[in-house]
Each structure stands twice: as C-alpha cells, then as structure tokens.
Amino acid sequence: MAVARVVHTADRTLTGRQLASLLTPPPEGRFGYRELARAVREALLDGRVALRLRLPAERELAAVLTVSRTTVTGAYDLLRESGYAHSRRGAGTWTALPDGQAPTALGAFQDDAGATIDLALAAPHAPEEELSAALAVAAAELPRYAGAQGYHPYGLPALRAAIAERYTARGLPTLPDQILVTTGAQQAVSLVLTLLGRSGDRVLAENPSYPNALDAMRGRMLRVTPVPVTEAGWDSGLVDAALRQTAPRLAYLIPDFHNPTGRLMPAEQRRELARSARATGTWLVVDETLTDMALDVPAPPPFAAAAGGGDGGQIVSVGSLSKSCWGGLRVGWVRAASRVVTELARVRITADLSGSVLDQLVAVTLMDRLDVILPRRLDELRQRRTALTEALARHVPEWRWAVPPGGMCLWIDLGRPVASSLAARALRQGVRVEGGARFGVDPGTHEHRLRIPFTLPVDAYEPAAERLAAALDGAPGHFADPALPDWVA
C-alpha cells in the first residue's frame, strides 16, 4: 500500500508581530538569545507555530521585540544547532523538527476485554431507552421499505426532511434537497474533500485538529496550511493572513467546541472568517458534529447562519448523530447548496451506493427525540467533566487545562513535551490516552499536550488519574525535556 506523502506550504512567512504574539515572554520581560530560542521551540512543539514556516527577518523581529539583532541571530543559530530550524543562504530561515521526532500513534480503535481504561476515544454510549424505542419504531416501519431495492444515495426522504427541519429551527432555513445523508461525519468530510479538492490543492486546517480529517486530507495529497488554535481561540489576523497568502481551495474548521481544545468561535469572528474566505474563493467545510455539546453556554446557531451564508454559498456543513446519540449508528450528513449535494451524491455512489435503511429509520425517531436526549446527555457530561477534573487535580496537580464551555474533552498542558512517552508508559499502567501529536498538522508537534475525554462513567476517572500519575513516576530519562545545546555566541 502506498504511503500518503504529507505536503506542507513552504512559502508562508510569519511577520515579526505575528511571531511575537505567539511567543511566551520570559519571566524577566526581555528576551535573551537563549530565552528567545526556547520560546520559539516551545511554540513550535505546542503547534502555535507551524513546521516549514519562514521566520521573520532578523532585523524585523529584533525591532518588534526591542532587542538587538545579535540576540535574534544567536537565537536562530541556536535553533538551527538543535534541529528546530534550517536556513538557505539568501532565502531565509524555516521552522523544522529534529530528525526522528515524530508522534507515536496509539491504536485507538481497539476492542479488548481487559482492564485497560480507554481515554483515547471521545465516544459516549447510546441512550439505551430512546435507542430501544427507536429500534421498535424502525422495525415497524421497515416492511414499507423492504419491497423496494433499498438504495437511497441521497438518504431516506424522511431523514433528510428531519435534518433540514432541525437546521431551520436553529436559524438556517434549509430544504431537504440541501441535505445528503452519509455513513457518519467522517464519510461526509471525505466526500467533500474528494469533490472539491484535487491532489496538490491547498487546504487550510486548524492546528490542532480532528486527526481523522487530517488523515483524509493527507490521503488525497492536499497541501495543508495550518493556523493555530490556542487556549485563547483563533487569531483572526493569522487566519486572514493565511487565506490571503495561500488562497486555499478549502478550509476545514471546527468552530463549535473545537476538537481537541474545546474552544467556541465568537460570532463576529465567524463573520470575519467567512468574509475572508469569500475574498479568496475558499470553500469552508464546517464540522458541526459537536454543536449540540453545549455544556456552559447556549448551543450556537449553524455557522452558515452566523456568517450570513444565506443558502450556504461556499459553506458546506457536516454533522452527525455520533456525539448526540451514538457512534455505532453511523448516521451523518452534509448540508450544502442543492447543486453541491447532487454532485456529492454522485461521488458517494462510488463509495458505498447508500447507507443502511434500518439505521436511517432509527435516526428519524432519534432526531424527533433530541430535545429529550440532549438535556440528559449534557447533564451526564457535566458530571463526568467534574469527576475528571477533580481526579486530575488530586493526582497530577502540576498539569494545567482550561475547562471548555462544551465538547467532550480536556486539552491538557503537561508543561513539558513528553506526551508520546507518557502515553506509551500509561498504556503499560492500564490506561490508554492520546498524545497531542496525533492532533497536530505537523508530526511531532503538540508534545506538551494530552487529550482526555470525559465520556466514561464517573467512577472511571479516579483509577485513570492514579494510573496516569504512576506513569509519570520513575525512569526520568523517558521524560527529559529536549534541551537546547550549550551553544555560546
């Protein structure tokens, strides 16, 4: 099997002001060359600064930071010595990673009957009572469909109508012919990338982001332009600059309780981003699978409504019942202009012809019951979030996180770039956890981070935190901070 080659933009340049805004200032308030090199390295490992990005000219950065040019020269030299940058004479200096520093991927989708606590998947259980009732309704309805061929490439008309009605109720008038039912949201994303992107096209993606969507981009040989999402959210200036500099064909966004950071994009920022995308002719692929997971704030309206998208234009929305109800149902959808839905259906036929009629009949009933299912699910998630944060605070008090207003995960700051090593040791302690590198556009970044979902029963988090704490103990060499060399100017 051929291995997909990851292609990155090599012609994007950070301005001095952009880089300065992404760096953590030293305690003394003024950068020396070693402090500056370390700040750039940490921003790179944490995903705030992308790989293969041209750093600002020495003179420009020195002026912005109010330091001498010698300080910047020394910092760039130190970054090159340690493998975090490379240069070409007369062309500039680019960010890089040392040889061999790449993420360690865990087999997240594993069925084991052992005692391992699985914190790798953000996947809640099904609402058993409502699912059983919906199955009974579907079984009664199925004979009406069994006399036909069973193929519905666009989706069952009743389900398309139910999804369209929900969009309309949430503030975005939608007709059934603007809906394509898919086999989960992942298929929806893959179909959109196949239809709208071609090998070599640029696609803007948040960094970090949903790893399966990133894998789909790489598999289609798209050139990914990363823009950072930090605990402060999105930087509109950086997103706008990335759009203007690269004019990507597509942009993949998770504005609602972003996976993995949990951030919620403000309404004004959505409008700004939509305006910037229209100016560059960029299709916006908006993943709204987590929209209903609003724990501390009202659920946001659809992105296309908040962005003034009208009938959608070049905004394609993706959703599913995986988080709201159950991932095992495998029901997702695309909401787009009718002509786009028609083209997507043609692409979809080459993949699986159509989805399961039985699953879609179940989904029709569940859609009608969401106003009952969601309040229970949200209460449950709040309790589990509290149980997780309290357990972590007791056993690993040195870790830091921002409590997200929604979603299903904590984005943990470990304070050191040790996530991959910790994940490997944690598995031996009986807990499966996903390091931040799995969510990065660039391999080896976000090594300061872990993503920990709060979708397990409340009583799972105390033993999970104990095992994570045990994984931190001993073998200090496993967790050595990759230090900069003792370089002297």
On average, the pLDDT of the chain sits at 88
* Local structure of 145: helix, strand or coil: helix
Report residue 99's pLDDT band, with 50, 70 and 90 as the boundaries: low
Residue whose C-alpha is closest to residue 38's, from 79, 66, 69, 72: 79
CATH 1.10.10.10 domain extents, the chain: 7-95
Point out the least confidently predicted range of 183-197, 217-231, 388-402.
Answer: 217-231
The predicted model gives 319-341 an average pLDDT of 96
The amino acid that residue 133 corresponds to is A
Tokens of 15: 């301005």
The predicted model gives 238-246 an average pLDDT of 95
- The whole-number pLDDT of residue 86 equals 87
- Residue 410: phi, psi to the nearest 5? -100, 140
**7-95 belongs to CATH 1.10.10.10:** yes
CATH 3.40.640.10 domain extents, the chain: 128-368
Q: What is the CATH number of domain 128-368?
A: 3.40.640.10
- The whole-number pLDDT of residue 442 equals 84
Answer yes or no: are the C-beta atoms of 252 and 204 closer than 8 Å.
Answer: yes
Residues 239, 240, 245: CA angle, nearest 5 degrees:
100
Report residue 114's pLDDT band, with 50, 70 and 90 as the boundaries: low
- The whole-number pLDDT of residue 41 equals 85
Which residues, in sequence order, are bridge partners of residue 181? 333
Q: How many helices (H) and strands (E) does the chain have?
A: 16, 15
- The whole-number pLDDT of residue 487 equals 36
- Is pLDDT of 109 > 70? no
Q: In angstroms, what is the C-alpha Rg of the chain?
A: 23
- Is pLDDT of 104 > 70? no
Choose the CATH number for 117-122+372-479 among 3.40.140.10, 3.90.1150.10, 1.10.10.10, 3.30.70.120: 3.90.1150.10
Answer yes or no: are the C-beta atoms of 284 and 314 closer than 8 Å.
Answer: yes
Distances from the Cα of 77 to the Cα of 56, 85, 87, 421, angstroms: 14, 8, 10, 28
Which residues, in sequence order, are bridge partners of residue 227? 206
The amino acid that residue 356 corresponds to is S
CATH 3.90.1150.10 domain extents, the chain: 117-122+372-479
- The whole-number pLDDT of residue 466 equals 96
The predicted model gives 194-202 an average pLDDT of 95
Alpha helices in 182-255 (DSSP H): 184-196, 211-219, 236-246
- Is pLDDT of 159 > 80? yes
**What tens digit of pLDDT does each residue of 292-315 get?**
999 999 999 999 998 765 445 799
Answer yes or no: are the C-beta atoms of 88 and 72 closer than 8 Å.
Answer: no
- The whole-number pLDDT of residue 364 equals 98
Environment class of 459 (CB within 10 Å of its CB; exposed 0-12, middle 13-18, buried 19+): exposed
Q: What number of residues does the chain have?
A: 489
| Rounded distance between C-alpha atoms, residue 172 and residue 165, angstroms | 9
| Rounded distance between C-alpha atoms, residue 226 and residue 218, angstroms | 13
Point out the least confidently predicted range of 270-284, 287-301, 438-452.
Answer: 438-452
| Rounded distance between C-alpha atoms, residue 177 and residue 309, angstroms | 17
Report residue 113's pLDDT band, with 50, 70 and 90 as the boundaries: very low
**What tens digit of pLDDT does each residue of 209-238 get?**
999 999 999 989 999 999 999 989 999 999
